[in-house]
Chains A and B, each alone.
Chain A
Amino acid sequence: MKLLFRGGVVAGALFAALAAQADEEANLVINGDIEITVRTDAPEHVAQLGTIYSGWVFRSDETQSLQMDDFENPGMIFVDDAIDAWNTVDGTAGNSCAACHGEPESLAGVRAVYPKWNDEAEEVRTIAMQVNGCRTERMGAEAWKYDGKEMINMEALIASVSRGMPVDVAIDGPAQSMWELGREIYYTRFGQLDLSCANCHEDNYGNNIRSDHLSQGQINGFPTYRLKNAQLNGVQSRFRGCIRDTRGETYGVGVEELIALELYVASRGNGLSVEGPSVRN
Chain B
Amino acid sequence: MADNVKPRVRVPSDATAGEEITIKTLISHTMESGQRKDGDGNPIPRSIINRFTCTFNGEPVIDVTMEPAISTNPYFEFQAIVPESGTFEFTWYDDDGSVYTDSKEITVG
* Chain A residues within CB distance 8 Å of chain B: 71-72, 74, 77, 80-81, 84, 230
A77 contacts across to B, CB distance below 8 A: 6, 26, 28, 73
> Pick the contact of B71 from A72, A80, A84, A230 — CB < 8 Å?
A230
B72 and A71 form a contact (CB under 8 A): no
Q: Give chain A nearest CB distance to B28 CB in angstroms.
A: 5
Contact B73 A71, beta carbon cutoff 8 Å: no
* Extra inter-chain contacts (6) besides given A71-B26, A77-B26, CB under 8 Å: A71-B8, A77-B73, A80-B6, A81-B4, A84-B4, A230-B71
Which of B10, B24, B73 sits near A74, CB closer than 8 Å? Answer: B73
Contact indicator B26/A230 (Cβ below 8 Å): no
**How big is chain B's contact interface, by range?**
10 to 19
Interface residues of B in 53-86 (CB under 8 A from A): 71-73
Which chain A residues lie closer than 8 Å to B4 at the CB level?
81, 84
Across the interface, name the chain A residue whose C-beta is closest to B10: A71
Q: Distance in Å from the Cβ of A16 to the closest Cβ of chain B?
A: 28
Measured in the bound complex, the distance between the Cα atoms of B71 and A81 in whole Å is 19
Give the docked Cα–Cα distance between A77 and B28 (Å).
7
B26 to chain A, nearest CB (A): 7
Cβ of A269 to closest chain B Cβ, rounded Å: 29
Chain B CB within 10 Å — which of A77, A81, A84, A230 has the most? A77
Query: How close is B9's CB to chain A, nearest CB, in angstroms?
Result: 9
Interface residues of B in 20-78 (CB under 8 A from A): 24, 26, 28, 71-73
Q: Which residue of chain B has the shortest Cβ distance to A76 in the bound complex?
A: B8
Residue of A nearest to B25 (CB): A71
B74 to chain A, nearest CB (A): 12
- Tell me the complex Cα distance, A77–B7, Å: 10
Query: How distant is B3 from chain A, measured CB to nearest CB, in Å?
Result: 10
Q: How far is the CA of A74 from the CA of B29 in the complex (A)?
A: 12
6 closest Cβ contacts across the A-B interface? Answer: A77-B28, A71-B10, A71-B24, A81-B4, A77-B73, A230-B72
